[in-house]
């Protein structure tokens, strides 16, 4: 038994010595530490810049097949104000809002000036209202058209309000929508 004790004591002593020497090598100020890298690296060769030749844009192929849904419901990208409207014809939004952060309450007065950019007459307006997707999160106080004509026969759907127009809005025609709501 005494021989086993001596062997395990030697092994323990060697392990302690190895850990101690390993720790000393990584101490700051030690002469065996790795040299610091320079702040900037200068490449040995800088690639040369060659001029880029301009080419004409590739035109996508024209197909004769248009899905029926796309034909009856044009995609928003085709009718977006960014692609079709002049800056003076884009929808204009004016908002006046009062926020009560502690009560998590927002009161908003909004006026939208909208110009019909489509080639069709619009019988009603669809307003997207994301907060109305959550029960009790949105309350519409009033909706008026063209400076004061109240709209009471609007239809509320999940995420939107559909407001019928007294007179359909022709292409290029514009109107003003005023909303008062709380979130």
How many other CB atoms sit within 10 Å of the CB of residue 48? Answer: 5
What's the CA gap between 176 and 149, in Å, rounded? 10
DSSP-derived letter for residue 40 is S
User: Is 43 strand, coil or helix?
Assistant: coil
pLDDT at position 19 = 60
Query: pLDDT 10s per residue in the chain (183 long)?
Result: 454 555 666 556 556 655 665 555 555 555 555 555 455 444 445 455 555 555 555 555 655 555 554 445 455 555 554 555 565 678 899 999 999 999 999 999 999 999 999 999 999 999 999 999 999 999 999 999 987 889 989 999 899 999 999 889 999 999 999 999 999
**Which two structure tokens, joined as six digits, stand for 22?**
């390993």
Which residues have C-beta within 8 Å of that of residue 165, sequence separation ≥ 6? 122, 123, 124, 125, 145, 175
**Which two structure tokens, joined as six digits, stand for 42?**
């200068």
- Tell whether the torsion through CA atoms of 134, 136, 137 and 141 is positive or negative: positive
How many other CB atoms sit within 10 Å of the CB of residue 108? Answer: 15
pLDDT at position 46 = 46
pLDDT at position 124 = 93
pLDDT at position 51 = 56
pLDDT at position 40 = 47
- Within the chain, residue ranges assigned H as helices are 2-25, 68-72, 76-79, 81-84
What's the CA gap between 137 and 102, in Å, rounded? 16
Read off the pTM. 0.52
pLDDT at position 20 = 62
């Amino acid at each position: 038994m005494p021989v086993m004790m001596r062997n395990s004591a030697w092994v323990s002593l060697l392990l302690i010595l190895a850990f101690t020497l390993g720790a000393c090598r990584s101490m700051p100020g030690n002469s065996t530490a790795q040299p610091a890298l320079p702040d900037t690296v200068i490449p040995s060769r800088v690639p040369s810049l060659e001029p880029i030749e301009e080419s004409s844009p590739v035109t996508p192929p024209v197909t004769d097949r248009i899905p029926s849904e796309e034909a009856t419901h044009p995609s928003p990208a085709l009718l977006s104000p960014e692609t079709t409207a002049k800056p003076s014809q884009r929808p204009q939004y004016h908002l006046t809002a009062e926020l009560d952060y502690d009560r998590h309450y927002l009161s908003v007065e909004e006026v939208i000036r909208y110009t019909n950019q489509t080639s069709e007459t619009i019988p009603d307006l669809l307003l997207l209202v994301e907060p109305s997707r959550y029960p009790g999160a949105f309350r519409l106080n009033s909706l008026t058209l063209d400076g004061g004509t109240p709209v009471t026969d609007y239809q509320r759907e999940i995420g939107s309000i559909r407001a019928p127009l007294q007179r359909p809005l022709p292409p290029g025609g514009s109107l003003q929508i005023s909303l008062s709501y709380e979130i």
